[in-house]
Every structure is written in C-alpha cells, then in structure tokens.
Structure 1
Amino acid sequence: MPVDRKAVFADAAIMARLDAELPHWRYEDGWIRRTYRTNSWKGTLMVINAVGHLAEAAWHHPDLTASYAFVEVRLRSHDVKGITVRDFALARKIEEVVQWQPGREPEADLSGTPQGDLRFAYVKYD
C-alpha cells in the first residue's frame, strides 16, 4: 500500500520517530529541528551548502538559521503545515551527510579532516 507523503503526523508519533530514528533532533513549535555546532564560519558555510544541496535535490526545503559557530535546520512540510514522511526522510539524509566522519569508518580509505588542528576544524561531531 503506498504511503501518503502528505499525511501529517500527530505530536506523539513525531516524538516516537525522533527518539527511534533521529535522537539528536527535537520537536518544537511545529518543526523538527537540529542544531549543528561548527568550529568557525567556514564550517557553518559548509554545513549550509551541504544541506542546501540535499534540499534542492530532494525538492523539499528546510528553514535555516546560521551564526558563526552553528546552523539550525528546521523542517516541516510547508504545503500541509505539519510534519510528514518527507521531513523525516530529509532529516535522515542531512544527518547522514553532516555527521559523516570518514576516518571513523571500518575501512577508512578516506582519513577525514585532521583532528586537533583548528585550521582544519569543521563540524563538532556528536
């Protein structure tokens, strides 16, 4: 049976899905939200660009707040004014990309940014 991509979740269902799938995200004021801490303006811009690419590719656009050392991502389906499967799907993809740490993968062919050198600091990983 196909899923109705515009069906709005009830608050309890949103909280349950966040707990199960996206523990660093929260539900507040009708949005699912995540704040990514960065080490600098450079890191903030890189997070914004990554989120922007994913949102445009998905054709589902979050609201963003940016500062020197953080980016807040807020998702809700504007057309139905609520949280739908589209919001959870994009949140999972954003989380996967922004929190990716190649040097910590079992087969680390990519080393990731140098740790301990603030010239290369990017995201403050969870």
Structure 2
Amino acid sequence: MAVDPTKPDPKKTLADGEVIARLAAELPRWKLEDGWIRRTYRTNSWKGTLMVINTVGHLAEAAWHHPDLTASYAWVEVRLMSHDVKGITERDLQLAKKIEAVVDWQPGTEPGSALEGTPRSDLRFAYIKHD
C-alpha cells in the first residue's frame, strides 16, 4: 500500500510542546495529562451521560480509533492516546475535534436552522452542560 504524502503520518507521535500548542489553538477545553489528551463533558443526568458515551463510541468506531472513557451519573471523561505507538498522534487530535464538534453541537443556535434543540427552560429534556 502506497503512502499518501499529503496525509499526516498516523503513527508519528507528537512532542508534548506541539500537542499543548495545538490544544490551545484548536481544542481549548482539552488538556494533555499523563500522556493522554483529556476532556470531561458535564451532563444533566445518566441519560445525557449515555448519549455522550454512545456518540463518542460511534465516532471512535467509525474512525477505527479507541478512546478510554470514565463515566459517572453526570459526567464523562474522554481520554485519547494512540495505543499502538503509546503517544499522541494526529489521529488523536482529529478524533478529539470530531468528538468536540458533535457533542458540543447546539441546535437552535444556527441562523436559519429548523432544528430547535432541547427546551432550555425544562431540565427534564436537558442532557449536556455546555461550557
């Protein structure tokens, strides 16, 4: 299989300084800690926690990349590291961006959108706490 020179090397580990700079510029709610990039999503209930877990699971499986998750009633921690090279790679950053975009998406905030989003005035329907 030929290597595509226009794509980043998925097995090249990134230096901590580069990861920190990329997180600050591209994923400010994520942090580098103990060799992982991490983000905790706050939810309003177990229902919201399961929705976040399922979303992350779907995106990770589609990307053929596998995060570590820790969850409780009202939060989910997502940890990413490329296990095969034991470091942070472009794969981790790209998956983190996709997770962030989907989990943090807020219907009803886009001009002209017919999608309302969950009622903000009734917490029975709320599921994610947006930062």
Which residue of 1 is the match for residue 64 of structure 2? 59
CA drift of 1:14 comes to 0.5
Q: Distance in 1 between matches of 2:121 and 2:13?
A: 44
Higher mean displacement: 103-112 or 77-86: 103-112
Residue ranges of structure 2 left out of the alignment (5+ in a row): none
In angstroms, what is the RMSD of aligned CA positions? Answer: 0.7
Question: Matched residue pairs, number?
Answer: 126
- AA at the equivalent of 2:66: H
Which of 99, 102, 127 is the equivalent residue of 1:122?
127
Match of 1:108 among 106, 109, 113: 113
SS in 2 for 1:119: coil
- Residues of 1 paired with 2:63 and 2:36: CA distance? 18
TM-score, normalised to structure 1's length? 0.98
Q: CA deviation at 1:107?
A: 1.8
Q: Tell me the amino acid that sits aligned with residue 37 of structure 2.
A: I
Per-residue deviation, residues 23-53 of structure 1 (Å, max 9, x unmatched):
0000000000000000000000000000000
Alpha-carbon distance in 2 for matches of 1:116, 1:76: 38
Worse overlay, 87-96 or 101-110 = 101-110
Larger proportion of helix:
1
Aligned to 1:69: 74
TM-score by length of 2: 0.94
CA distance in 2, matches of 1:96, 1:107: 19
1:31-42 equivalences under 5 Å are 31-42=36-47
Gap runs ≥5 in structure 1: none
